[in-house]
Amino acid sequence: MEAVAVAAGLAASSAAPIPGNEARRYALRRAIHRIEKGLISRPRRPVFAADYIEEAVDAYCAGVGTCDADAQGRLQTWAHDVLEAYFAAVGSHPAVDRARARFDASPASARDQVDPVRPYTVRTGPLAVTIDGMLEMAVRRRSVRHYLPKPVPREVVDKALVVAGYSPSACNRQPFVFRVFDDPALVRKVASIPMGTAGFYEGFPGVAVIVGQLRAFRNPRDRHLIYIDGSLAAMSFVYGLESQGVSSCCINWPEIAEKEEQMAQALGLAADERPVMLVSFGYADPTAMVPYSQKKPLSELRSYNK
């Protein structure tokens, strides 16, 4: 199952960089992030990214004129500003010079913005959230399986998803999407598919399916990043909900052919898309009980220099 999805992802990722091509956007995200890392390097090399700068500019230029959608526009803005900073900093090289000429000739190369979105000095100083506050939320967060029959406003869910979007991701590709369901019939349909939800999925006010997209990768070695990056985002989503008084439950997704087929049909998944996990959410029934779920003590969790 995974092998088939990986093959489909590789085929999609090698497609021509046409406007609107999602694989192209993933390639552009990775290339621009790699350039950012070169810009912040100490010491910075006089010439870097020569082996992929032309591909990055090709992907950028393919998106010029397709900025009507907010997501695409944000990506193009980021790519433009980082490329502009790159060409201002890098020395001469045949590949760099060719890419520079193409970038300069792009209709968007003269974009004017007061606050460019490019590498900046790290922000430090105290936060409103303290470690004690984080610990309190982590301790309070439990896997709640019984909720009040009360819908969660979409603006609440969206705020938690914005938090999830800031989770770390390999080369900033973010190879996942959250498929959120709050229609009662659809929630029951989707939540009944994974194992372990029998007997309580009928009461979910909402459920999110984190779906990984293997079209983000050009090498099979990266196939597990959808699970790593998707899970990092899922935990941020859970904390984003918890901070707003919304409870949740992470639902495991085992690799079972029958279940994979059911979910693919229910969500209309593409060949390269795979479920990472599900998260149910809602306002907890105050009479509901949760498992104590004793956690490992610090002494079992960590070691230093060993």
Is there a single domain that holds both residue 147 and residue 245?
Answer: yes
Residues 51 and 173 in one domain: no
Q: According to the model, what pLDDT value does residue 74 have?
A: 84
CA separation (Å) from 153 to 159, 250, 277, 296?
10, 20, 22, 35
What pLDDT score does 22 carry?
A: 78
The pTM is what?
0.90
Residue 140 inside a domain? The answer is yes
Do residues 96 and 173 share a domain? no
Looking at the structure, tell me whether residues 15 and 58 fall in a common domain.
yes
289 lies in a domain? no
Q: In what order do the strands lie in the sheet with 273-282?
A: 176-181, 206-213, 273-282, 247-251
Residue 304 lies in a domain: no
Q: Are 248 and 167 contained in the same domain?
A: yes
Range(s) of the domain holding residue 249: 131-282
Helices (H), 175-289: 184-191, 225-242, 257-267
C-alpha to C-alpha distance for 23 and 286, rounded to whole angstroms:
45
Query: Helix, strand, or coil here: 167?
Result: coil
The answer as to whether 249 is a domain residue is: yes
Which tens digits make up the pLDDT trace of 50-90?
Answer: 999 998 998 888 876 554 455 667 888 899 999 999 999 99
135 and 42 in a single domain? The answer is no
Rounded to the nearest 5 degrees, what angle is found at the Cα of 153, between the Cα atoms of 182 and 285? 80
Which residue, among 190, 197, 277, has the nearest Cα to 233 in the 3D structure? 277
Would 306 be classed as within a structural domain?
Answer: no
Specify whether 50 is located in the same domain as 180. no
d(CA 186, CA 204): 11
pLDDT in tens, 12-51: 777 654 445 778 888 889 999 999 999 999 999 999 999 9
Question: Which two three-digit tokens encode residue 223?
Answer: 């196939």
What pLDDT digit, counting tens, does each position of 159-185 carry? 999 999 999 999 999 999 999 999 999
Question: Phi first, then psi: what are they for 270, rounded to 5°?
Answer: -75, 165
Assigned domain for 271 exists: yes
Q: What does the alpha-carbon distance between residue 218 and residue 209 come to, in Å, rounded to a whole number? A: 24
Please tell me the distance from the alpha carbon of residue 128 to that of residue 174, in angstroms, as a whole number: 27
**How many separate domains does the chain show?**
2
User: Which residues in 33-63 are b (16+ Cβ under 10 Å) and which e?
Assistant: bbbbebbeeeeeeeebbbebbbbbbbbbbbb
